[in-house]
Amino acid sequence: MTPTELRRARWNNSSHLLYGAIIAELVLFIIFFLSTQSWLLVCSGAPLLLGLVVCLVVLQRSAQLAPKMKRNVWLMLLPMAAIVFRLMEAILNWR
């Protein structure tokens, strides 16, 4: 493995990246569902929704997951739908 490939492999398989992403998503979830101000809902909801969509795509493309697990991942659509509806409500009732 060349040094460039080794550096890329270390970045893509870093456990710190996984823990950082999980903590960031949890913080965004907490801020999004506890806030009442429209600007805060939009500022926390947009990256949260983007992160969940990226996670959904990565997990569906993963060759390591069993097909049953990939079907269970579709349950992520429920919180994503709640985020989309709350974002639409915040944008329509902007204050």
pLDDT for 21-61, tens place per residue? 889 989 999 999 999 899 999 999 999 999 889 888 888 88
The whole-number average pLDDT for the span 79-87 is 92
Rounded to 10°, the helix 77-92/38-61 angle is 150
pLDDT for 10-19, tens place per residue? 666 666 677 8
Number of domains forming the structure of the chain: 1
Expressed as residue numbers, the domain containing 82 is 3-92
* Predicted TM-score (pTM) of this structure: 0.75
